Chain A
Amino acid sequence: MADPRTHRLRLWTSAGTIAVLVLAVLLVPPLVQFDEQAVDLSRKLLPPSWDHPFGTDDLGRDLLLRCVHGLRISLLVGLVAALVATVVGTAVGAAAGALGGRPDRWLMRLVDAFSSVPHLLLGIFVVALFRPGVWPVIASVAVTHWLSTARIVRAEVLSLRGRPFVDAAVSGGASRWRVAVRHLLPAVLPQAGLAAVLMVPHAMWHESALSFLGLGLPSHQASLGNLVQNARSSLLAGYWWPTLYPGLLLIVPTLAVAGLAGAWRDRLNPRRRSELTL
Chain B
Amino acid sequence: MTRRLPWGAMARMTGRRALAAVPVLLGVTLAVFAVAEASPFDPVKAYAGTAGLTASQENLDQLRANLGVDRPLLTHWWEWLTSALAGDLGDSAVLRRPVTEVIGERLGWSVLLAATAFAVALALGTLLGVLAGRRRGGLVDRAVSSAAYTLEAAPAFWLGLLAVWFFALKLGVLPAGGLTDTGSDTVTAGQIARHLVLPALVLGLSQLPWFFLYVRQGVGDALEEDPVRGARARGLRERTVLTGHALRSGMLPMLTLVGSRVPELITGALLVETVFSWPGIAAATVTAATSVDFPLLAALTVLATAAVLLGNLLSDLLYGLADPRAGFDG
Contact = CB atoms under 8 A, between A and B. Distances in A.
Interface string A224-235: 000010011001
B267 A125 contact: no
Interface string B284-327: 01101110101001001100110011001000000000000000
A219 to B, nearest CB: 14
B252 interface: no
B273 to A, nearest CB: 11
B286 A116 contact: no
B41 A213 contact: no
Contact of B142 (A201, A238, A277): A277
B265 to A, nearest CB: 9
A119 interface: yes
Contacts of A277: 142, 145-146
Given A116-B305, A213-B274, A277-B142, A238 B169 contact: yes
B271 A212 contact: yes
B153, B271, B300 pick with most chain A CB within 10 angstroms = B153
Contacts of B136: 275
Given A235-B165, A250-B158, A278-B146, A215 B290 contact: yes
A247 interface: yes
A66 B141 CA distance: 37
B155 interface: yes
B40 interface: yes
A278 B164 CA distance: 28
Chain B interface SS verdict (over half): helix
A246 B312 CA distance: 35
B149 A228 contact: no
B162 A240 contact: yes
B35 interface: yes
A250 B40 contact: no
A231 B164 CA distance: 13
Contacts of A228: 155, 157-158, 161
B174 to A, nearest CB: 14
Interface residues of A, number: 46
B292 to A, nearest CB: 6
A243 B158 contact: yes
A250 B274 contact: no
Nearest to A127: B289
A119 B267 contact: yes
Contact of A125 (B32, B141, B274): B32
Contacts of A128: 288-290, 292, 297
A278 B292 CA distance: 43
B144 to A, nearest CB: 12
Interface stretch (A36-44, A47-55, A184-192, A251-259): A251-259
Given A116-B309, A118-B308, 15 more contacts: A112-B24, A116-B308, A117-B28, A117-B308, A118-B266, A121-B267, A129-B292, A209-B155, A213-B286, A214-B290, A235-B165, A240-B162, A250-B155, A255-B149, A258-B149
28 contacts: A2-B137, A116-B24, A116-B28, A117-B308, A118-B262, A118-B263, A118-B267, A118-B304, A119-B267, A120-B267, A125-B32, A129-B292, A130-B39, A205-B155, A214-B290, A228-B157, A231-B161, A232-B161, A235-B165, A238-B169, A238-B170, A240-B162, A243-B162, A243-B165, A247-B154, A250-B158, A254-B153, A278-B150
